[in-house]
DNA sequence: TGAAATGTTGGGGCG
DNA sequence: ACGCCCCAACATTTC
């Protein structure tokens, strides 16, 4: 018997690892494991846990149609596997790659356990088109600048023809078993009132993406990120669609995702250290009160506040606004990018460590191919450019223009000058 | 995937 | 018609 281990690939269709697991005469036990190492840090109504559970239920419904079912466990992965291999004649375990530092550690421990029992651990590429070692410079070293990376990515993409993995057609190989399907309550969670929005990848959206994506009042973005994060849609399907359009702006965003994933793979220390080490000499102010006001959307800068309120209310924030609030936190408030990264990690439905760390370091100036330190967004100029009629801002700040809306917590000009001085001081040291 | 500061140009008011 | 000043508009440099 084989095991297929679902993680960030919560779908039956075009699932690489699932396809390879099912594509033999052996029967396959499909499992999912809720990991207390991750869950214990989350509130009981965490919206992502609800979304994962909802997707597991979807999978369960589809499997039941084929007279099968999914097993859902809770526990440390090695403990769960220890039990499963005692109770079943397991020959191999299949799963899809997960590139985050924590997942790599977890998978290494599972691999070692399986190895002791002479069980093979087969892992597949599924959540990206190209992973770590597939797009590198000619000497095998990783790209740390986006443009040449994307050029190489597109070259390789054009060379190959896309392969799909019709895992959904092999469900008859799934084993009959009596393992449980734990409920949300069983793992100590409740259904969140925050729901993951559906994605939109209509022809219209992709064709107009470059023109509309920067205006948060327009529904010009795809809302794909959460679905890509949890694998509820196949990246192969999305990339193929994006490539059909002559304007490659949308495809480029998919490439940014893989760019940051390979950066995290080669430079895992960047989850808490600046990619450019001299940026760790910055003397952040780290004012807790200012941070709290930023979190709550009460800085007195409407674009910043609207974004943070959108995040708090929905678990989502428009990408243009993410850049604005991030620049404001790091540069106007001189608060360490890690604080912002941590807050986003708590709140974002689409939280993806590689993209979140990569983009926060971009905003702080400390990352690969980052914004230069002197590039400081003016949160008021940004309104003129991207929300000039205040449609987005008023949606989230109904009290705008009244006495109850706070005064700016910092003066733009002063904050800008202080930022330049602080960054310069740190960078002059090296 | 900036914005401010500084420089340049040219039209118009005016003596 | 001319020189001078002002300043908007645009370009370039700087942070």
Q: Supply the CATH number for residue A19's domain.
A: 3.40.50.620
Please check whether residues A293 and A413 belong to one and the same domain.
yes
Please check whether residues A30 and A139 belong to one and the same domain.
no
- Which nt sits closest to A369, CA to C1'? B1
What pLDDT does residue A270 have?
98
- In a domain, residue A168? The reply is no
Element of type H or E holding A180: none
Residues with CB under 7 A from strand C: A 372, 374-375, 420, 424
**Which residue from A216, A416, A215, A393 is spatially nearest to A327, judged by alpha carbons?**
A416
Pair A6, A87: CB distance under 8 Å: no
Helical segments of A315-430, H only: 319-327, 337-347, 353-364, 379-386, 391-396, 412-428
- In a domain, residue A175? The reply is no
- DSSP assignment string, A15-51: -HHHHHHHSSSS-EEEEEEE-HHHHTTS-TT-HHHHH
Select from A266, A282, A302 the last residue of a domain. A266
Please check whether residues A255 and A342 belong to one and the same domain.
no
Pair A5, A94: CB distance under 8 Å: yes
Please check whether residues A39 and A157 belong to one and the same domain.
no
Please check whether residues A236 and A311 belong to one and the same domain.
no
Strand B at less than 7 A from CB of A425: no
pTM beyond 0.85 = yes
Q: Is A181 exposed, middle or buried (0-12, 13-18, 19+ CB in 10 A)?
A: middle
Structure confidence at residue A298 as a pLDDT band (50, 70, 90): very high
State which nucleotides on strand B lie below 7 Å from a protein beta carbon.
1-5
pLDDT at A104 over 80: yes
- In a domain, residue A429? The reply is no
CA separation for the pair A171, A163 (Å, rounded): 19
Spot the catalytic one: A337, A339, A362, A396. A337
What pLDDT does residue A80 have?
98
Interatomic distance A388 CA / B14 C1' (Å): 39
What pLDDT does residue A159 have?
96
- In a domain, residue A197? The reply is no
Please check whether residues A245 and A309 belong to one and the same domain.
no
Q: Is A286 a catalytic residue?
A: no
- In a domain, residue A173? The reply is no
Please check whether residues A119 and A135 belong to one and the same domain.
no
Helix (H, G, I), strand (E, B), or coil: what is residue A256?
Answer: helix
- In a domain, residue A221? The reply is yes
Select from A126, A142, A170 the last residue of a domain. A126
Provide mean pLDDT across the span A42-57. Answer: 98
Please check whether residues A56 and A119 belong to one and the same domain.
yes
Provide mean pLDDT across the span A199-215. Answer: 97
Q: How many structural domains comprise chain A? A: 3
Q: What is the token pair recorded at A167?
A: 């895992």
pLDDT at A430 over 80: no
- Which nt sits closest to A375, CA to C1'? B2
Q: Is A362 a catalytic residue?
A: no
Average pLDDT score over chain A: 97
Provide mean pLDDT across the span A70-93. Answer: 98
Provide mean pLDDT across the span A334-358. Answer: 98
Strand B at less than 7 A from CB of A386: no
Spot the catalytic one: A13, A134, A168, A253. A253
- In a domain, residue A180? The reply is no
pLDDT at A429 over 90: no
Helical segments of A160-285, H only: 203-207, 209-212, 225-230, 235-243, 249-266
CA separation for the pair A230, A64 (Å, rounded): 22
Provide mean pLDDT across the span A135-143. Answer: 97
pLDDT at A56 over 90: yes
Please check whether residues A277 and A409 belong to one and the same domain.
yes
pLDDT at A66 over 80: yes
Residues 6+ apart with CB under 8 A from A14: A164, A165, A166, A167, A168, A234, A236, A237
Structural domain of A47 = 1-126
- In a domain, residue A302? The reply is yes
């Amino acid at each position: 018997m084989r095991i297929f281990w679902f993680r960030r690939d919560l779908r039956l269709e075009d699932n690489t690892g699932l396809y390879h697991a099912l594509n033999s005469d052996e029967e396959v036990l499909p499992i999912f494991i809720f990991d207390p190492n991750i869950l214990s840090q989350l509130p009981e109504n965490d919206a992502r846990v609800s979304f994962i559970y909802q997707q597991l239920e979807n999978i369960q419904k589809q499997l039941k149609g084929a007279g099968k079912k999914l097993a859902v466990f809770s526990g440390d992965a090695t403990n769960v596997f220890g039990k499963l291999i005692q109770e079943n004649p397991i020959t191999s375990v299949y799963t899809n790659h997960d590139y985050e530092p924590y997942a790599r550690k977890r998978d290494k421990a599972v691999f070692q356990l399986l190895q002791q029992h002479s069980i093979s651990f087969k892992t597949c590429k599924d959540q990206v088109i190209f992973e770590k070692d597939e797009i590198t410079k000619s000497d095998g070293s990783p790209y740390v600048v986006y443009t040449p990376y994307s050029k190489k990515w597109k070259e390789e993409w054009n060379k190959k023809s896309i392969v799909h993995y019709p895992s959904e057609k092999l469900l008859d190989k799934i084993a009959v078993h009596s393992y449980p399907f734990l409920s949300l309550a069983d793992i100590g969670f409740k259904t969140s009132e925050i729901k993951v929005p559906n994605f939109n990848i209509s022809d219209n959206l992709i064709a107009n993406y470059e023109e509309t994506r920067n205006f948060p009042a327009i529904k010009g973005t795809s809302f794909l990120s959460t679905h890509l994060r949890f694998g509820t849609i196949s990246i192969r399907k999305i990339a193929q669609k994006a490539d059909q359009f002559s304007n490659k702006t949308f495809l480029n965003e998919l490439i940014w995702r893989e760019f940051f994933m390979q950066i995290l793979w080669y430079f895992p220390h960047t989850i808490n250290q600046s990619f450019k080490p001299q940026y760790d000499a910055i003397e952040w102010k780290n004012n807790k009160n200012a941070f709290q006001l930023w979190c709550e959307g009460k800085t007195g800068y409407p674009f910043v506040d609207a974004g943070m309120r959108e995040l708090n209310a929905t678990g989502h924030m428009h990408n243009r606004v993410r850049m604005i609030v991030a620049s404001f936190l790091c540069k106007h408030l001189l608060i360490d990018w890690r604080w912002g990264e941590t807050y986003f990690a708590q709140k974002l439905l689409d939280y993806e460590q590689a993209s979140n760390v990569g983009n926060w370091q971009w905003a702080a100036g400390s990352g690969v191919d980052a914004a230069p330190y002197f590039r400081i967004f003016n949160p008021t100029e940004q309104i003129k450019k991207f929300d000039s009629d205040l449609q987005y801002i008023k949606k989230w700040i109904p009290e705008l223009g009244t006495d109850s809306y706070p005064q700016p917590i910092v003066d733009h000009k002063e904050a800008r000058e202080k930022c330049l001085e602080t960054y310069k001081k740190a960078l002059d040291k090296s």
